Amino acid sequence: MNIVNVDYDGLIPNNVGLGTDVRVKRALEKWHPGYINWWNDMGPEGFQESLVYLRTAVSVDPKGWAKFDYVKMPDYRWGILLAPQLQGRKIPFGKHKGEDAWQEVPGEYRAMLRRLIVIQGDTEPASVEQQRYLGKTAPSLYDMRNLFQVNVEEGRHLWAMVYLLQKYFGTDGREEAEALLQRRSGDADTPRMLGAFNEKTPDWLSFFMFTYFTDRDGKMQLEALAQSGFDPLSRTCRFMLTEEAHHMFVGETGVTRVVQRTCDAMKEAGITDPNDIARVRKLGVIDLPTLQKKANMHFSLTLDLFGNEISTNAANAYHAGIKGRFREDRLQDDHQLKGGTYPVLRLKDGKIQSEDAPALSALNMRLRDDYVVDCNLGIGRWNKVIEAAGIPFKITLPHVAFHRHIGEFAGIHADTSGKQLSDAEWEKQKGDYLPSDGDRDYIESLMKPETEPGKFASWIAPPKVGIDNKPGEFEYVKIA
């Protein structure tokens, strides 16, 4: 059963034996035209005829799973790829810990599983919709190609979730699969399910911040689902994580290159004060305080995706063996959280303070904490660039109570250090912490496309290495 190679013979590439699974094959072939219509309507605007140098998964072997070639995006081979089944895999946590992993949906957890799969699935097309106009202002062909790579893979992640719905959930799975093609990011009547996926991604700095912060939430959710006792979900998520790594690479290196360009330009111009925003902007680069504000915004919006700090849903999903902790398999405890506690930041008597809560109820908080640790790693690398340039500035993450709409701190205002503010103080100060209209206008003014191979817009440095080791002047997108 160790299927590593992918069958590319049929309409839908797969390594799940679709050729002999007539019912699911038919259901997916029926869903396919609707997907292509969705892609043509809501995918990258203006580039559907262009040839893009994309990677396509040809195997699920971690040592060599992708091949690169020029493809028109609508012809991309979206497929269904699961990581190889591990023989004898057991449910790693919860009340069924140690039992054989489920190969079919356990009846008692059917509704819970379907809900988790639909929520995960909904984020995938949402991000494609959010990013659909960015190709027109790409700062280079290299960046344009990376955007499109992320987009086609988010499309594939939709396929991954739709496969689970079609294969394991019968009629209501089919209905959910249809509904995933009907909702639209930011639509007043039929929005996507989660807040951050209804925000706009209007410019490339937003795109890099989104792939850094929000795709990283995706990574955390996939990591938690990769631990699932429902084996097909686990295997699907494990393969998605290999693709997800590239999305965060795009975000992390994207911001690094913006920081690099800003620091280089400041040095050349002899500007040492990072807060001399007017002078820095005259150089056609993005000043560091504005980068900080963008980070504040994307981080805080993404924290909301982790839900309430104390959550019965999260406790139930863990107890059931459906959704685990980040890297559950590397943690050393009873994997059932009997009697354990976990410190949770809460609003108590009007103050933000830590309080021990039952570990089982605090799983969202714990995943969020793991996320914050993960976020800080890349920010350390951004700061190294600033430090090497000798500029006295440090990018930091805001306090978790800052600018929240879900959870303990949704009802208060706090500054980026966690100090509570009155409504009036917040109104007066928020422009210091979040991008103002002026900041947005300035960033927008920089969004001029650069489509000559090897050239980059004024506000971003070239990458250190090309994709697939291609040289600097490689034509990553042949624009049609």
Q: Give me the residues that bind Fe ion (CB under 5 A), please.
A: 124, 154, 157, 215, 244, 247
Amino acid type, 206: S
Angle at 319 between CA 314 and CA 320, to 5 degrees: 100
Specify the DSSP element, H or E, that contains 377: helix 363-388
Alpha helices by DSSP H, listed for 270-320, are 277-282, 288-303, 312-319
Q: Please, what is the minimum distance in Å from the beta carbon of residue 167 to Fe ion?
A: 19
Q: Please, what is the minimum distance in Å from the beta carbon of residue 153 to Fe ion?
A: 7
Are 297 and 268 in contact, with CB atoms under 8 Å apart? no
- Closest to Fe ion by CB, 197 or 456: 197
- Closest to Fe ion by CB, 215 or 287: 215
Specify the DSSP element, H or E, that contains 432: helix 423-433
- Closest to Fe ion by CB, 193 or 357: 193
- Closest to Fe ion by CB, 162 or 391: 162
Q: Please, what is the minimum distance in Å from the beta carbon of residue 462 to Fe ion?
A: 24
Are 32 and 11 in contact, with CB atoms under 8 Å apart? yes
Q: Please, what is the minimum distance in Å from the beta carbon of residue 300 to Fe ion?
A: 20
Query: Which residues does residue 90 pair with via DSSP β-bridges, in sequence order?
Result: 100
Amino acid type, 155: G
Q: Is 44 helix (H, G, I), strand (E, B) or coil?
A: coil
Q: Please, what is the minimum distance in Å from the beta carbon of residue 146 to Fe ion?
A: 12
Q: Please, what is the minimum distance in Å from the beta carbon of residue 207 to Fe ion?
A: 12
Q: Please, what is the minimum distance in Å from the beta carbon of residue 205 to Fe ion?
A: 18
DSSP state of 420: E
Q: Please, what is the minimum distance in Å from the beta carbon of residue 154 to Fe ion?
A: 5
- Closest to Fe ion by CB, 154 or 176: 154
- Closest to Fe ion by CB, 15 or 123: 123
Which contacts of 235-241 are long-range, i.e. CB under 8 A and separated by 24 or more positions? 235/82, 235/83, 235/84, 235/85, 236/82, 236/83, 236/160, 236/161, 236/163, 236/164, 238/82, 238/83, 239/57, 239/60, 239/81, 239/82, 239/83, 239/160, 240/157, 240/160
Q: Please, what is the minimum distance in Å from the beta carbon of residue 247 to Fe ion?
A: 4
Q: Please, what is the minimum distance in Å from the beta carbon of residue 358 to Fe ion?
A: 31
- Closest to Fe ion by CB, 201 or 292: 201
Alpha-carbon Rg for the chain in angstroms: 23
- Closest to Fe ion by CB, 236 or 292: 236
- Closest to Fe ion by CB, 154 or 328: 154
How would you classify the pairing of strands 351-358 and 341-348?
antiparallel
- Closest to Fe ion by CB, 149 or 300: 149
Query: Which residues does residue 399 pair with via DSSP β-bridges, in sequence order?
Result: none
Q: What is the DSSP string of 188-240?
A: SSS--SSGGGGS---SHHHHHHIIIIIHHHHHHHHHHHHT-SBHHHHHHHHHH
Alpha helices by DSSP H, listed for 210-230, are 215-226
Q: Given phi > 0 = left and psi -120 to 50 = alpha, else beta, which region is 134?
A: alpha
